[in-house]
C-alpha cells in the first residue's frame, strides 16, 4: 500500500544541484535522439501522463524533459473541463481520441484520472461510479498497451502543501506569471487532504504503476522524470528502418 506521506517532496539529502542539472540536460538530449528513431520506425509509441496538484509543475516538466524533441513526433494535450459534447459521451471518449499514434510521444497534462479526482473530491459522482471508472481506466490503459504497442509512464507530481502556497502566490506577485492566476485554484487548495486521499486511492488501484516524483525543487523534478523516460525508451526495440523495411 502506497502512502504519499512516506515519500519526500524534495531531492535526497546531499544531492549536488549542478551535477543533477547537467545530467538532466544530457538525458533530455538522449530522449530527443531516441524520439527521432521512434518516429522514423513508426512501431512503438509512448504515453506520458502528468498528474498532480495545481502548480506542481506539469507544464515545466513537459518543456524541460521534451523541449529538445522534434515537434513532428511529440505532442501535448491538456485536459480541461469537458465541453457539452464531451459530457454527452462516456468519460473516456475524449481521452481515447488523444491516445498516441505509432511513432509518437504523447504527453497528457492532466488526464483521464481527472474523472476520478476532481469529480470525486466535489461529490459529483458516487463511489459506485468511481469503482466503475477505475476499472474502465485500467482496461483502457491495458488496451493501449496490448493493441497499439503503447508504453505508458504515469508521473504523480509530489508537491508539498507549503510549496504549493508559494507557487500560487507567485502567480499574483510576479507580473509575468499573472496569466496563470486563477482565483479558483485557492479554493481547490483548501481541499488538499481530500485530493491527497483520492490520489492515493487512484495510485494504489492502478494496474500500471505510478512514478512518484518529488517536485518541490524543479531541477530535481526534471532530472527524475528525464531519467525514467530515457531509461524506458532505451529498453524499447527502437531502430531506424532499413531500405528493405521501407
Q: Are 69 and 175 a contacting pair, CB within 8 Å?
A: no
Classify domain 4-234 at the CATH superfamily level.
P-loop containing nucleotide triphosphate hydrolases (3.40.50.300)
Q: Are 79 and 108 a contacting pair, CB within 8 Å?
A: yes
In three-state form (DSSP H/G/I as H, E/B as E, the rest C), the secondary structure along 153-173 is EEEEEECCHHHHHHHHHHHHH
Closest CA to 20 of 198, 225, 204: 225
* pLDDT score of 245 more than 80: no
pLDDT at residue 246, rounded to an integer:
56
**What pLDDT, in 10s, does the model give residues 74-132?**
999 999 989 999 999 999 999 999 999 999 999 999 999 999 999 999 999 999 999 99
**Cα 154 from Cα 110, distance rounded (Å):** 10
Q: Which of 49-58, 97-106, 118-127, 167-176 has the lowest mean pLDDT?
A: 167-176
**Cα 34 from Cα 230, distance rounded (Å):** 8
Closest CA to 168 of 56, 51, 5: 56
**Cα 78 from Cα 59, distance rounded (Å):** 9
pLDDT at residue 205, rounded to an integer:
97
Which positions ≥6 away from 191 have C-beta within 8 Å? Answer: 121
Amino acid at each position: 500500500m502506497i502512502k504519499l506521506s512516506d515519500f519526500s517532496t524534495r531531492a535526497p539529502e546531499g544531492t549536488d544541484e549542478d551535477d543533477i542539472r547537467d545530467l538532466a540536460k544530457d538525458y533530455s538530449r538522449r530522449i530527443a535522439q531516441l524520439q527521432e528513431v521512434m518516429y522514423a520506425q513508426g512501431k512503438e509509441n509512448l504515453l506520458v501522463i502528468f498528474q498532480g496538484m495545481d502548480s506542481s509543475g506539469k507544464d515545466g516538466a513537459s518543456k524541460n524533459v521534451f523541449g529538445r524533441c522534434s515537434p513532428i513526433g511529440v505532442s501535448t494535450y491538456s485536459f480541461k473541463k469537458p465541453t457539452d459534447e464531451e459530457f454527452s459521451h462516456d468519460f473516456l471518449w475524449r481521452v481515447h481520441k488523444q491516445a498516441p499514434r505509432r511513432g509518437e510521444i504523447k504527453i497528457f497534462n492532466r488526464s483521464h484520472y481527472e474523472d476520478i479526482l476532481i469529480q470525486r473530491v466535489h461529490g459529483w459522482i458516487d463511489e459506485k461510479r468511481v469503482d466503475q471508472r477505475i476499472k474502465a481506466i485500467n482496461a483502457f490503459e491495458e488496451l493501449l498497451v496490448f493493441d497499439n504497442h503503447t508504453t505508458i509512464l504515469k508521473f504523480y507530481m509530489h508537491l508539498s502543501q507549503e510549496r504549493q502556497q508559494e507557487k500560487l502566490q507567485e502567480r499574483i506577485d510576479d507580473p509575468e506569471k499573472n496569466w496563470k492566476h486563477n482565483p479558483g485554484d485557492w479554493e481547490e487548495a483548501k481541499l488538499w487532504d481530500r485530493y491527497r486521499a483520492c490520489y492515493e486511492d487512484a495510485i494504489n488501484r492502478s494496474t500500471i504503476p505510478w512514478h512518484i516524483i518529488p517536485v518541490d525543487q524543479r531541477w530535481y523534478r526534471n532530472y527524475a522524470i528525464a531519467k525514467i523516460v530515457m531509461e524506458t525508451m532505451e529498453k524499447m526495440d527502437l531502430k531506424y528502418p532499413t531500405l528493405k523495411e521501407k
